[in-house]
Amino acid sequence: MKAIIIGATSGIGRELAQQMSTQGYELGITGRRSHLLDTLAEVLPAKAYKATMDLEDVQGALKAFKQLLETMDGVDLVVINSGTGSNDPKLPLEDELSTVAVNVLGFTAIANVAYHYFVSKGHGHIVGISSIAAVRGGPAASYNASKAYVSSYLEGLACRAHVDAKDISITDIRPGFVDTAMAKGEGIFWCAPVPKAAQQILTAIKHKRSVVYVTKRWRLIAILLECLPGGVYRKLMG
């Protein structure tokens, strides 16, 4: 199997790369920090191809992504893991726009090109790393909104593939807290170790699941969040 992981330089993406490579996946690994791609490629047991890309530069990222698809000569799976967000309570516009640029525009560009690539190939699998934050709005306004977009876009691609009778699987991964650089600050609970989260993501990928909460207990939180009335929810978020 050949797979590309968009955002493999740290955290969940890096661990997923390690677990997949150990299981024999030939990988394309991407991110902005090319020195981290180099050190990762050195320790991966199976063959790995590197591509430096910044999703804020959509055209540059697409060029690198298409080049990677060509170099790898046939890919079965694309995991779009890259994501960013800000916890700054002042909600600076610059941070909000950066979150939207990466999590919405960059995500859409890769997901769209991957979809068309798999249509032309006849089959494939797209996995997006969304978040429990997709379920409702939150104080990190652009982050929750962007993850709601990610989950909705993935469901849209699944509908598109079904309507067009294409053999393309879509998986929406919604992690709760995972112990990475991103999960910092107050109010963190049920924080999953990165290897455990990556292992559950890989299992979901292998079973071509549609929507998966990681770890599994976060499904309960999602149900609870969906049921809470607005006033109660806002107090909880405060």
**Which residues sit at the interface with ligand NAP, rule CB under 6 A?**
7-13, 31-33, 36, 53-56, 81-84, 102, 129, 131, 175, 177-178, 180-183
3-class state of residue 202 by DSSP: helix
Nearer to ligand NAP, 167 or 226 (CB): 226
Alpha carbon distance 110, 114 (integer Å): 6
Nearer to ligand NAP, 13 or 124 (CB): 13
Q: Residue 62: name the closest of 40, 39, 80 by CA.
A: 80
Nearer to ligand NAP, 119 or 133 (CB): 133
Helical (H) or strand (E) element with 169: strand 167-175
Burial pattern 207-225, b for ≥16 Cβ within 10 A else e, equals eebebbbbbeebbebbeeb
Q: How far is the CB of 59 from ligand NAP (least distance, A)?
A: 13
Q: How far is the CB of 37 from ligand NAP (least distance, A)?
A: 8
Q: How far is the CB of 211 from ligand NAP (least distance, A)?
A: 14
Q: How far is the CB of 238 from ligand NAP (least distance, A)?
A: 20
3-class state of residue 48 by DSSP: strand
Nearer to ligand NAP, 182 or 212 (CB): 182
